[in-house]
Amino acid sequence: MSTPTEKSARPARSGTPEIRVSGLHKSFGDNEVLRGIDLEIGAGEVVCVIGPSGSGKSTLLRCVNLLEEPTRGQVFVGGTELTDPDVDIDAVRRRIGMVFQQFNLFPHLSVTENLTLPQRRVLGRGKAEAAKVAAENLRRVGLAEKADAFPASLSGGQQQRVAIARALAMGPEVMLFDEPTSALDPELVGDVLAVMRRLAHEGMTMMVVTHEMTFAREVADRVVFMDGGVIVEDGTPEQVIGNPSHERTRHFLSRLLDPAMADVEEGTDGAGAPGGGAAKTL
């Protein structure tokens, strides 16, 4: 279990933001999902983004590496503006690793082949070098013995760890996680979170969209709560999770941490959305 002492034992963070988002808006037709997001994440910092479904948190994450094109605003990674029309986006993306809810492994390729293919195609590494890097990163996620296995023979948690190893094999400076445990059976979540804890301890810059409050409380340097396409609260886990200042944050956490105690409000979804259903965006 991570503790404040363990957090303080991480490599020192620089004052330069590794990720900077300024005035970010994103609309899908008439639906404005992000409504002016300003956010900075320092090098080596772990920031967990929480919030209800439809709050815009996954869209924000996808805008950070331009998987979604912002409607307006700026995104910087490592000092380079991704939203500059003249930027070499492929070059910048090589510095950003992303892990999705689904594992997206090639089923017809072995674990090692899943890790070496992007290295060879994107980074131009030779077969031997790519295999060496693959083996090193499989050891990092505790799956060295699965190098020759195929995805169908692995559990969901093992497949997600392979996906993390694949991202790490590209040598990223930043790791983005989009609810990486949401597709897993509960008993498989712990191993994936343990790998993420290890990366945090090593000083990896991480932006994590998650509903895992224990992980956010123990590992994150900061927690960002989003709702309705805006950042409602941004602070330490102790502030945002332990003692939130906004009623909306308190309501969300009470429903998440103790669903049995959540009130069902007649005519709403319990969060102000009419019609008894969640107000879904992306």
Radius of gyration of the chain (CA): 19
Are the beta carbons of 233 and 224 closer than 8 angstroms? yes
SS3 9: coil
Q: Is the pLDDT of residue 135 over 80?
A: yes
Q: What is the pLDDT of residues 61-119, one digit of tens each?
A: 999 999 999 999 999 999 999 999 999 999 998 999 999 988 999 999 999 999 999 99
Burial class (CB in 10 A: 0-12, 13-18, 19+), 168: buried
pLDDT at residue 14 in the model: 52
> Could you give the angle at the alpha carbon of 131 between the alpha carbons of 127 and 132, nearest 5°?
120
127: left (phi over 0), alpha (psi -120 to 50) or beta: alpha
pLDDT at residue 273 in the model: 36
Q: What is the pLDDT of residues 10-37, one digit of tens each?
A: 555 556 799 999 999 999 999 999 999 9
pLDDT at residue 265 in the model: 45
The per-residue pLDDT of the chain, averaged, comes to 88
- Rounded-to-integer distance, Cα 245 and Cα 57, Å: 20
Provide mean pLDDT across the span 227-238.
Answer: 97
Type of residue found at 212? E
Q: Is the pLDDT of residue 157 over 80?
A: yes
**pTM for the complete prediction?**
0.86
Q: Is the pLDDT of residue 261 over 70?
A: no
pLDDT band of 130, cuts 50, 70, 90:
very high
